[in-house]
Structure 1
Amino acid sequence: MSEYERSRTMPAQPEHVFDQAANADQLDAWLPDALHVHVQDPPAVTVHEDLSGQDMPALLRAQPDQMRLEWGTREQGSYTGWLQVAGIGSGASEVTVHLSFFDEGHDPGEGAVYDALDGSLRRLEEQVRMRADHTAG
């Protein structure tokens, strides 16, 4: 089993950050570029991976009261992950993303995973900033 985790501080209230992260219509805006989530009958979703061209049945659950998203593959159980938003004071939040690969063949490797996590957190922060600017203006 391989596990990876990254965190990033964002200049917004945790509720605002969670709302952006959990918005099913905007997941593609911050997820890794090669992944696309198609919501079917929540929590059931399908994840399309551009590199392999495969669609994978998955689950995506939002827990607003805990400001947490959880996801994973439905049938094989080879992959799970979560995103947690926490307030850190002064109107800022810390977002942590954690991935677990139970099937080593599904793990793309440390460098690729950390690049994807860092990129996703950066794009989520951009989403949060754009939404905050749009709301303020």
Structure 2
Amino acid sequence: MTEYERSRTMPALPEHVFDQAADVSQMDAWLPQDLHVDAGEPPAVTVHEDRTDQDVSALLRARPEQMRLEWGTREQGGYTGWLQVAGLAGGTSEVTVHLSFFEALDEGHDPGERAVHEALDRSLERLEEQVRLRVDNAAG
């Protein structure tokens, strides 16, 4: 198993960050650009990956009381992940994303450390952009 984790501080309350991250209809705005989530019948979702042009059955669970999202592939069990939002002082938040790839089950699923870190960093940047837009629109 290979694991990756990245964190980012965001200038918004944790509830705002979690609400944006957990909104399935808005996930395409912050997920890696080649991944698309179709809600289906939650917690069942379908993830389309442009790179492989495949649809993968997955599970996505939001745990608002913990400000946590958890996901993973269903049939093949190739990967799992979670996103955790934690409140910091001054109305800011820290968002941590963690991915685990199970090589023995799916040799080709892990794109490698550099690619994963770049995708996670860019996804966290995009999530912060979406949170800023949401907070600015609510304030304006």
TM-score interval, smaller chain: over 0.9
TM-score (norm 1): 0.99
Aligned partners of 1:83 and 1:96: how far apart in 2? Answer: 6
Q: Which has a greater percent of strand?
A: 1
Aligned partners of 2:43 and 2:124: how far apart in 1? Answer: 22
SS in 2 for 1:112: helix
Runs of 5+ unmatched residues, structure 2: none
RMSD between aligned residues:
0.6
Is residue 2:9 matched to residue 1:9?
Answer: yes
Aligned residue in 2 for 1:102: 102
Aligned partners of 1:131 and 1:58: how far apart in 2? Answer: 27
Give the letter for the 1:44 counterpart: A
Runs of 5+ unmatched residues, structure 1: none
User: Could you tell me how far 1:78 is from its partner in structure 2?
Assistant: 1.1
User: Could you tell me how far 1:105 is from its partner in structure 2?
Assistant: 2.0
Is residue 2:129 matched to residue 1:131?
Answer: no
| Aligned counterparts, 1:53-92, within 5 A | 53-92=53-92
Deviating beyond 6 angstroms after TM superposition, the runs of 4 or more aligned structure 1 residues are none
Give aligned-pair identity as a percent: 75
User: Could you tell me how far 1:70 is from its partner in structure 2?
Assistant: 0.2
TM-score (norm 2): 0.97
The count of residues paired between Structure 1 and Structure 2 equals 137
Aligned residue in 2 for 1:22: 22
User: Could you tell me how far 1:89 is from its partner in structure 2?
Assistant: 1.2
Aligned partners of 1:39 and 1:63: how far apart in 2? Answer: 16
